[in-house]
Every structure is written in structure tokens, then in C-alpha cells.
A = this chain, B = another copy of it.
Amino acid sequence: MSQTIRQPQQERSIEKKNKIVKAGYELFSEVGYYATNTAQIAKRAGVSTGIVYGYFKDKRDILLEVLSIYVERAFSPVLDLMDSLVAPIDYPALAKQVLAKAIAIHGQNANIHEALHSMSHSDAQVNAKFIELEDAITLQIAGKLASLGVNSPNLNERIHFAMDIVQSFSHEFIFDHHTYIDYAAMREIVESMLVSLFE
């Protein structure tokens, strides 16, 4: 009824909360949200089932936290790259770097990305959080590029579309779905595409 969620301040507590998120991250990633149950999360985290509800309102709340962790982990390398950018921009090199980073991250987090993304279709709050995060990143990149003198028309749109492309290709690349596709060649095509978006 009036169950309150602990906001852990002490180190031990934070550690425990992190363990639970980590367990959730792994399990959602391995088998998906629906195939994961709270007992498994607790067990892998090395805690009791009860305490999970001391830190999280419900199972979905864990997903939300996992989402935050994921997004930070997934986007910060690219943002770091942008941060260190100086004029004049070497677009081909940048495209190469961005794609390399994106693929690397996707490789480490591929499954969770899909699990989270899929949830965003059945869960409005997950969706909202995803959008919020994408927005923040797009605008941050736009600010950086503008400060470097990039003045392409519809800059936001180009960045957003570029992000879509990178995302989409990284996914393709990692999962290596299609046997008749030469992914190295495709990668070059994507890179030149990205360059042509901003040059």
C-alpha cells in the first residue's frame, strides 16, 4: 500500500541497487524482458526477491533504470568524440570514427538495445524516455557542430537522420544477417553517405 522505495544513499545500498540493475541488464539482454522473472534477477544479483521491491517499484521500474544505464553507455563515446572535435572538421575521418565507435558499442550491447527498443512499443514510458534521450543527444551534437561553424540547412534533421543511419547500420553489421552482403563495402557506402549529409 504505502510501500516506499528506498533512495539508497549509503554505499552498501547503492552497491546493492547497482547489482540488481546489472542483473536486470544482463538478463533482459540475454533472454528479453518477458522471459526474465524477478526471482532470476534477485538470484543473479545475490539478493532476496523482497529487497528488489525495496529499490524498485516493480519489474518495469528495473527496465527503466536499465534503459538509463544503457543509453549513457551507448551514447557517451560518440558524444566524447564530438566534444573533442575542432575546426576544420575532417568529415571522412569523423564518419569513420563515429561508425567505428557505434559498431563497437553495439557489439557490446546489441541485445539489450533490441530488448529496450522493443519495449518502447508496448510501454509509453519507456518510449518517452528513449525519445527524451535521443532529443538531448541530437541537440547537443547540433550545438557543437554549430559552434564549429557548420551551417547546413536543417541541421537537426540531418543529425537525426545520420543517427538513424548509424544505428541501423551498426545493427546490420553486428548481426551480420545477410550472407550475400559485403559488409565492408556497405560500410564504406554508409560513410560516404554520412559525409555527403554535412559537406
What DSSP secondary structure best describes chain A's contact surface? Answer: helix
A residues 105-124 touching B (CB-CB < 8 Å) = 111, 114-115, 117-119, 121-122
Evaluate contact between B160 and A168: CB separation under 8 angstroms: no
Name the B residues within 8 Å of A114 (CB-CB).
118, 121
> Which residue of B34, B119, B122, B161 is within 8 Å of A31 (Cβ)?
B122
A residues 140-187 touching B (CB-CB < 8 Å) = 153-154, 156-158, 160-161, 164-165, 167-169, 172, 177-182, 185-186
Q: On chain A, which size bracket covers the interface?
A: 35 or more
A residues 80-127 touching B (CB-CB < 8 Å) = 111, 114-115, 117-119, 121-122
Closest beta carbon of chain B to A6's beta carbon, Å: 12
Q: How far is the CA of A178 from the CA of B178 in the complex (A)?
A: 31
Q: Does A7 contact B (CB under 8 A)?
A: no
Report the nearest B residue to A34, measured CB to CB: B34
Evaluate contact between B40 and A2: CB separation under 8 angstroms: yes
Q: Does A24 contact B (CB under 8 A)?
A: no
| A-to-B contact residues, CB < 8 Å | 1-3, 31-32, 34-35, 37, 39-40, 43, 111, 114-115, 117-119, 121-122, 131, 134-135, 138-139, 153-154, 156-158, 160-161, 164-165, 167-169, 172, 177-182, 185-186, 189-190, 193, 196-197
